[in-house]
Structures are given as C-alpha cells and as structure tokens.
Chains A and B, each alone.
Chain A
C-alpha cells in the first residue's frame, strides 16, 4: 500500500499542513497587533474606489492609528448577507445603514448601538435623522451620510437641436415630449419597467411629491388623513400612464442598465433620474447634459422634490473597537467628510448642516433645488412598509403595471390602498 507515490503525497500533505499552521499563526498575530482595525460593511460596491483612495486616507491623516477597511456586497445581496454575518458574529465594526425599517429592525434586535452621545450628531437636522431614529425620535442609531434627489436629466445637444427649453409645468413637459416624438430621431423618455423599481422610484416618487405636496401629503398618509385612492395619488398614476407612448421600443423588458445606456448613447432625450446617476453619466456620456426639477402641475405652484435620506453609518453592537468606531463616526459627521463625499460622489448629497460646495454643475443643480423647492422623502419608507403586503413592493408592482398598461390608474391606487388598509390601523376606517 505504501507506494513511493503515496509517500510523496504524505510528505506534501505534511508540508501543506505546516505552511497552513504557520500562516494561521501569522494571521492571528497580525490580528492581535492591529486591534484598531475597523471594517465597514456596505452595499456601495460602486464606491469602493472612492473609499479606498480618498475617504479612508483623509481619515487616516487625522487618525493614523486607526486602520479602516471597506468591504462591500452587491446592493441586492447586502441585507441578506449582513443579517447572516450579524447572526454569525462575523459582521464588521461599522455598518452602512439602509433608511428606516431595515436599520430600525437591526437596532431593535440589538445589533446597532445608539449614537446619541457620539460627537457630531448635533450637525444634523431632525429630518436628516428621521430615517435612522426610533419612532418617537428620541434615539438615533446611525450617523446620517447622504441623500439622493430625484429629477430629470436631459441631453442638452438634443434640446438645442430641436430648440427646446426645459419644461417647468406638466403641460410644458408634454409639449416637449410631443416635439421630440414628432421629430422621430430620438426616444423622448428613457425608462423601462422590467426592473419595476424604476417605475416606482424614478416615476411615482419622482413626480409624485408635486401632487401630494411633499411632507404634507406624506405625513397625512401616515396619519390616515389621505388615502392612495385620493385624486392626488390617482393623478400621479395617470401621469405615469401618459408617458408610455414616449418610451422606447419594448420598454416592458428594458432594464435599468438598458435605460442608462439608451441615454448615454445619445439615443434618448430625457431621463427620469436619481442624482446618483450623475457620476455615471459624467463618465459615460460624451455630450453635455443638464437637469430640470420635476414639473409642477400648474404654473406658479410651489415645487417639491424627493430628497431622500438614503445612506448612513452605524456601529455594530458587538464591535471590539467601540471607541475607534465612535471616532470614525464623529469624523463622518464633520464638514471635511461632507465635502469629500459630495465631490467624489456627486449625486450623493451630505445631510449635515455644514455648507458644502458641490463642484459638478449638474449635481450642484440638483442640490440647488433644496433652496427653491421643499424637500420630502419617499412616502412608502417610514412606517408604511412594515406590514404584509409590503407597501414598497406593492408600489413597484402597480407602478410598473400602470406603465405596462395592464392596470388602470384607479385600480393601481385601489390595490395600494387595499394592501395598506389590510394591516395599517389608520387606513382601516
């Protein structure tokens, strides 16, 4: 049995084992030596570069003794992966927080600590903190980082060619769309319904704030004073349905990357956008582009924008480096971080009260609307998506269906309202 071959194999296995144990010991040593290493859990794998080459080095200039490691999962897998790691006790020290219930859930399960006592939290307004605070607003568990703003990005060259001006009202918006369609060379609206969230986020939430009057409508919806079957909400669905003749061929199976490409290749004129698209377009589009705010219903109406609190950072309750983590969070709250973040990732706008100079002109335009219009967040995010059926999922579904023509605006409104009323007390009346 003990052939020369198997002897050699045994010897090799022995060597391998020895190497492995040395490596393990070295790793253990390295671990002990750098007890001050913070690991960040995030879904922003697109931003890994900016974190590694800009944000973390800037932090290390002030705090050279704390090492920071940025570890990102793809956005769609983040929640599942993070929960698994938290349950297994292997999650990083710092946890990037999704807005509202996903993070509130983590806090209630004891995975996040309160950041009320972390220096720098006073730099944020109550609205900025609302996405990461308990329902009574007393405890905040993540340090707010950035929000995203909705609007429309347009291809300036096409607009110049067809002598169009950015629309201010819905009527003007449709006039512009008609002209682009009549010209026939370009797709008027770049948007698809295959991913569903485009219809809900870039469609429904983007333009909706002007119909339900931002925070006023959002709060009324939570209190049960307004319903999705009210004219304001049905009108949003009606407006979405009216976009479909202007959308590209086969928009029903057009996905988000298709939509982005359609616009950056110069084949579409108007792109219902999230401000996070700006850095991507900056890289890919070789034409000039600009942005206009969601059109108001009537001329002279007050304008509203969806300025959605999107990303924050909290501390893993099981972290062994609590002090270092708090130091990092305080730095995140500083104007220095806000400035780096806003300019390295134009389209993510800092939430702190510090005045930040956004250098990208289109991103600056988005953030400039904060001065002229009133900010609000997406109406399905706070409290209303807690039950079954989940309101956010329902809105994705019905918005996509309205745009696919398989559901009437009134039916969509009724479905969203019925779903909500089936579990949410204030809507049961």
Chain B
C-alpha cells in the first residue's frame, strides 16, 4: 500500500531523489531522541568516562584506565563493601521476587474473581502506598515498629505474642529482611495491577472451554491462565530486578547512608552514595563513585541480557 502511494507520487511530481528520505520519521523521532540523548545517554557515557579517571587533592583529574575498577574489586577495603552491598542487593531482590510478586499474583487472582464485590476499593487501597513518598513510608513504618512508642509491640502483646517482638530494624540479623518487607508492602500494587490487567485480557471462552473439558479451578489456573500471563510475569520480574538494583531511597530514609547495623542493609545504591558524595568525614570521590555506578550499570545490563536472551525469547505472546 505504501509502496504504491510512494511510487505514484514519484511518477506524478518527479520529486528530486534526495527528498525521498522519509523526513517525517526523523522529525517524529527527534524530540524523544534529543531528550533521551541529553538526559540519559550522555550522562551514562560521561559516567563511564569519569570512571576511568582519578582525582588528586587539588581536584585535577588524570586518566588511569581501569585502575578504579581494579581497586573496587581487589582492594579488600573496597571489594569487601562492594560484594557485601551486592549480596544484600541480591537478597533484597529475591525477597521482592518471591514475596512481592507472589502476593501480587495472588491478589490479582483474587481481584479477578467474577463475583467479587468492592473490587475497585481493594484495588485502590492496595495500590495507595505505591503513590506515597518513600520518606513517608519510611517514617510511618519506623513509628509502627518503634520499640518505645510503636503500635507493633502493643498489638503483639494484645494477642499474647509480645515476646516475639524485637527491634527488627536495629538487629543485624533482621534489618535487611524488615526493610525489604517494607518495600514489598509499598510496591506490591504494581505487580498486582500489571498481572490483573493481563488476567482481564484472557478471553472468557478459553476459561469456559477448559471448564467444560473438566478442568478444576486449579487446573484452569495452572494450565490456562498462568501460561497466558507468563510474558507479563517476565516483564514484572525484569522491572523488579532493575528497580531493586537501582534502589536507594528507602534504605537511606530508614537506615541512613551508613546502612547499619554493620552494613547489613547496605545495597549498591547506598554504597554508591557514600562513595560519590562522601559521608561525615569521608570525602566523596566522584571518580570512584562513577566506577561504582558503572559497575551497577554492568550488573543491571547483565541481568537484563540474561532475561532478554534466556527467557524472553522462549516466551510466546498469545494473541487472541
């Protein structure tokens, strides 16, 4: 169709060959491309460039190649912190994958029950925390869990479980788990919404056909719905991965940049912040910070690539 039109115009007006370049494509792409280049690609490339430099005390920078990365990975003072942050970040991510996306899937299934009253009320309530500021979330949960005046200890005491309460945000063994669960609580609405939308997209006749064929509710879920929402689950996973490895704000709001106790809640984001901006008496190093940022970029890139080539290619998008 387009070919036909194009050739007709060409023959009718005999336009010079140069202007046959589809200018409109460039015009429509330009705004997005310009903004994306200016605010995303350029800073990214400049960060990578900066990570190859080192600054001295007068602020002058000199090219050092991969020296910053060698320090980051081989100097025990740096690599210990880096791998600790990486490990914590991985735990942070796994908790989100299992708990946040698991609960999100469950909630989406419940919401899509045909005879559910007040579905939109639940949906709104569950999605509400996602729209609140992280600082507010951090503040509210610190108050709830506060051992001195929080409601968590008194609630637990009221049901006779008072002895189970502990200063969870302050113990090395529980701090990361607690912070992760707070984050899960905040963001559980996002997988829920995405999966809910995917579930709504499944035509009823498929489910009806399965039921007629004798499938129970479990089989319908396992053999009909789940395969049909797998692509969405894939997208949810990769979104969770990228968001978690870029996370910073909640930990910073609750535990500060030193991410205590004993760096047990330190993730790559807070490690980067300390390195780049400095902390208390630690003077910030933009170049070393850029190296940490580049390492984070590489980690995220590897994760996304594994997903793209290992997972997404095998997923089949069903069209109805």
Indicate whether B48 reaches chain A with its CB closer than 8 angstroms: no
CA distance A252 to B148 in the complex (A): 11
Indicate whether B77 reaches chain A with its CB closer than 8 angstroms: yes
Indicate whether B257 reaches chain A with its CB closer than 8 angstroms: yes
Please, which residues of chain A bring their CB within 8 A of the CB of B168? 253
CA distance A391 to B57 in the complex (A): 19
Evaluate whether A248 and B148 lie within 8 angstroms (CB atoms) in the complex, with A83-B284, A109-B58, A110-B58 already known. yes
Please, which residues of chain B bring their CB within 8 A of the CB of A393? 258, 279-282
CA distance A354 to B43 in the complex (A): 51
Interface residues of A in 176-196 (CB under 8 A from B): 192-196
Interface of B is mostly: loop
Interface residues of A in 375-397 (CB under 8 A from B): 380-381, 385-386, 388-393, 396-397
B147 engages A79 (CB within 8 Å): no
Indicate whether A250 reaches chain B with its CB closer than 8 angstroms: yes
Indicate whether A404 reaches chain B with its CB closer than 8 angstroms: yes
Please, which residues of chain A bring their CB within 8 A of the CB of B277? 79-80, 83
How many residue pairs link A and B with beta carbons under 8 A? The number is: 126
Indicate whether B260 reaches chain A with its CB closer than 8 angstroms: yes
CA distance A385 to B280 in the complex (A): 10
Please, which residues of chain B bring their CB within 8 A of the CB of A419? 77
Interface residues on A, range: 35 or more
Please, which residues of chain A bring their CB within 8 A of the CB of B261? 193-194, 196, 252, 400-401, 404, 406
CA distance A255 to B263 in the complex (A): 16
Task: Specify which of A83, A250, A397 is in contact with B262 (CB 8 Å cutoff).
Answer: A397
Please, which residues of chain A bring their CB within 8 A of the CB of B280? 197, 390, 392-393, 396
Indicate whether A122 reaches chain B with its CB closer than 8 angstroms: no
**What string of 1s and 0s marks CB contacts (under 8 Å) between A54-92 and chain B?**
000000000000000000000010011001000000000
Indicate whether A304 reaches chain B with its CB closer than 8 angstroms: no
B282 engages A385 (CB within 8 Å): yes
Please, which residues of chain B bring their CB within 8 A of the CB of A109? 57-59
Evaluate whether A406 and B167 lie within 8 angstroms (CB atoms) in the complex, with A196-B261, A380-B281, A390-B282 already known. no
CA distance A258 to B262 in the complex (A): 20
Task: Specify which of B75, B77, B258, B281 is in contact with A385 (CB 8 Å cutoff).
Answer: B281
B77 engages A389 (CB within 8 Å): yes
Indicate whether B169 reaches chain A with its CB closer than 8 angstroms: yes
CA distance A252 to B142 in the complex (A): 13
CA distance A187 to B128 in the complex (A): 38
Interface residues of B in 275-312 (CB under 8 A from A): 277-284
Indicate whether B208 reaches chain A with its CB closer than 8 angstroms: no
CA distance A102 to B277 in the complex (A): 11
Sample 11 A-B pairs with CB under 8 A, ordered by A number: A83-B278, A102-B283, A108-B59, A196-B260, A248-B148, A253-B145, A254-B170, A396-B280, A397-B263, A406-B261, A423-B77
What is A's interface to B at a CB cutoff of 8 Å? 76, 79-80, 83, 100-102, 105, 108-110, 192-197, 248-255, 258, 261-262, 380-381, 385-386, 388-393, 396-397, 400-401, 404, 406-407, 419, 422-423
With A101-B283, A396-B280 given, can you name 6 additional A-B contacts, CB distance below 8 Å?
A: A194-B261, A254-B170, A255-B142, A393-B279, A393-B281, A393-B282
